[in-house]
Amino acid sequence: MKNYHTQVGGRNQGYSDLLTVRETLKYLGIKTRNTLHCWAYDNMVPSVKVGKRRRYRKADLEAALEQSKEVQA
C-alpha cells in the first residue's frame, strides 16, 4: 500500500489547501477523531504533518475515496 504520510516544512509555505482534523471529520462524515487517526496511521487516508499537527488535503481525500470505491467494486 502506498504511504501517504508526508512531512511539510518551510517557513513561508502556504497551507491554505490543508484541512484541520475537525474539517476532515466533517468532510468525511466521521464522528470520532480516533477513527480518523487510525485510518491515517493505517495509510487509508492521506495526511501531512505540519509541525506536530496532522493535516489533510481535500484533493488527496477525494482521490483516496475514489480508490477505495474501485477496490470495493
Helices and strands of the chain, counted as H and E runs? 3, 4
Percentage of residues in the chain with pLDDT exceeding 90?
A: 38
* pLDDT, tens digit (0-9, with 9 covering 90-100), for 14-30: 567 899 999 999 999 99
**pLDDT value of position 66:** 86
Say if residues 66 and 59 touch (Cβ distance below 8 Å). Answer: no
Taking the alpha carbons at both ends of the chain, their separation in whole angstroms is: 18
Least trusted range by pLDDT, from 5-9, 35-39, 50-54, 64-68: 5-9
Coil/strand/helix, residue 49:
strand
